Structure 1
Amino acid sequence: MGVPDEHIHPVATGVAAQTVAKHQEPQDLIFYAGWFCPYVQRTWIALEERGIPYQYKEVNPYKKEKHFLEINPKGLVPAVEYQGKALYKSLILTEFLEDAYPEYKPNILPKDPYTRAYVRIWVDYISKTIVPASMRLTQAQDPEKRKEYLQELLNAQRKLGEQVKGPYFLGEEFSLVDVALAPWIVRDWISVKHRGYRREDAGEAFKNYADNLAKRPSVINTSSDEEHYIPIYDRYLRDEAQSEAAKAVRQGRDIP
């Protein structure tokens, strides 16, 4: 069961709406987004961090425009149209932006080959460990399973926290690790309210790191008002969401 279209706010709100308003002029890069999606926010953060010119276009998940489906038959967001060609998937897009716009600084992938590889290892860890644990916790209906998944998430976050050099993962440098995790940090109030989660239970190092991510301007500027996330995440809390990620969690598959 999905939430009827009218129950979802159609566009970004709050600070994010102000960001959208600044990116309506045509550009070589068109950014197709869903304001509420954490994967979208990854790419959006990268665009804002680096000051890359882009045109923002909101995609209605229930009424996808013909042109969008022509360039991206999977109908997934985030997606970009670059010089008439389409790409999608959040982490691939962030790396694409590094290659397509090398003149825009700062980079979110380090120049040093070792550090770049090290960053990719921990991005993979976030995608395969922390994000699935967070989603399992949100979707869990059984109280005992919730306890199990809560501990799984805290353990995964604590392990990441032990690697943080502060204030961001690499220290002063904001990197792809931070981009990969930040959208789930700004949504953790959902687990605080409904699943007994507390950042401090993942350790002081992780809590300090998460607090710093939440205060990053690019993260704030791509976040909408909390009240408008509620109808969307209520579906996950009831385990009724029909997104590809939710289906994968329900079926025990890797999140696509």
Structure 2
Amino acid sequence: MAVTLGPSSPDADIHPIATGPAKEIVEKHSIQKTWIVLEEKQIPYQYIEVNAPLDPSSLLSPNPRGAIPTLYCPQPDGSKPLYESNIINEYLEDVFSSHQPHLFPLDPYKKARAKIWVDFVTSRIIPSFNRFLQAQGEGEIAKAHNEFLGHLKEFIDAMDSSGPYFFGEDFTMPDVALAPWAMRLWLLDHLKGGLRIPEPGEGGEDEQIWERWREWVDAVGSRNSVANTLSEKEYYLPIYKKHPRLSDLSLL
């Protein structure tokens, strides 16, 4: 992860470059969901690093929210911006439909279901992850922990039982949507006493759910598009400790 920093920046002490496999692709950070799609579909792209909160770059000025990711799309009257990672990902899937793999199922019903669960990640899982990360005090932490695990279990229960991905053998947009957060859940071990998912054989009535979860995490984490867009763990923790109230952790 890289940020453009001046000497007086409050983030000047945060590690400034991508590390590990992510460094092999680009020596900077990205919004990982869209980066995963670009890598999965092998879409040629130019990566431009912008630190949105500190750098009011002209690259962001056409975006009314001044947010990242921003994708500049060639149009007859010039390049036009798109923003919001889920919208960008749908656009990339439509425009580069000849690029494999298809990240939405071709079956209309399954495609609609995929969109439902992408939205579930965005509207339920990620906000509850943020609340868990921000919770203070034993009671608030316990409530946030139960809420987050409840949403996670609902997502797992909707998965195809054959695995390893959400729709079985095919890696699709619901997997993309959750992957960045799933790969960062280890942070909770350092910040909130851990996620406390039961160990194998200790899940009780939820044993099959957590077995399916471990299968999914292993499969998603081993995909090149996910592994190669992660920095080394040691550089994430200082960011989360410094900014526990980040409203959009996809920035990491």
CA offsets per residue over residues 1-36 of structure 1, 9 Å max, x none? xx7131233332221111116xxxxxxxxxxxx72x
Greater shift after overlay, 72-81 or 44-53? 72-81
Aligned length: 225
SS in 1 for 2:60: helix
Q: When the two structures are superposed, what TM-score results if normalisation uses the length of structure 2?
A: 0.82
Q: In 1, Cα distance between the equivalents of 2:17 and 2:70?
A: 17
- Residue aligning to 1:148: 143
SS in 2 for 1:7: coil
| 1:53 pairs with one of 44, 47, 68 | 44
| 1:179 pairs with one of 176, 179, 198 | 176
Could you tell me which runs of 5 or more consecutive residues in structure 1 were left unpaired when the two chains were aligned: 22-33, 247-256
- Residue aligning to 1:89: 84
- Residue aligning to 2:223: 216
| 2:164 pairs with one of 164, 167, 180 | 167
Contact 1:64 1:75 in 2 (8 A): no
Q: In 2, Cα distance between the equivalents of 1:199 and 1:100?
A: 39
Q: In 1, Cα distance between the equivalents of 2:214 and 2:149?
A: 11
The reply to whether residue 41 of structure 1 matches residue 47 of structure 2 is: no
Report percent identity of matched pairs: 39
| 1:70 pairs with one of 61, 77, 81 | 61
> How far is 1:92 from its partner?
0.4
Contact 1:178 1:213 in 2 (8 A): yes
Structure label with greater radius of gyration: 2
- Residue aligning to 2:105: 110
SS in 1 for 2:59: helix
Deviating 4+ runs (over 3 angstroms) = 198-202, 243-246
The reply to whether residue 205 of structure 1 matches residue 212 of structure 2 is: yes
- Residue aligning to 1:189: 186
> How far is 1:103 from its partner?
1.7
CA offsets per residue over residues 155-202 of structure 1, 9 Å max, x none? 211122122221000001000000000000111011122222134466
CA offsets per residue over residues 218-255 of structure 1, 9 Å max, x none? 11010011111122101344xxx3x4448xxxxxxxxx
Q: When the two structures are superposed, what TM-score results if normalisation uses the length of structure 1?
A: 0.81
Could you tell me which runs of 5 or more consecutive residues in structure 2 were left unpaired when the two chains were aligned: 1-8, 204-208
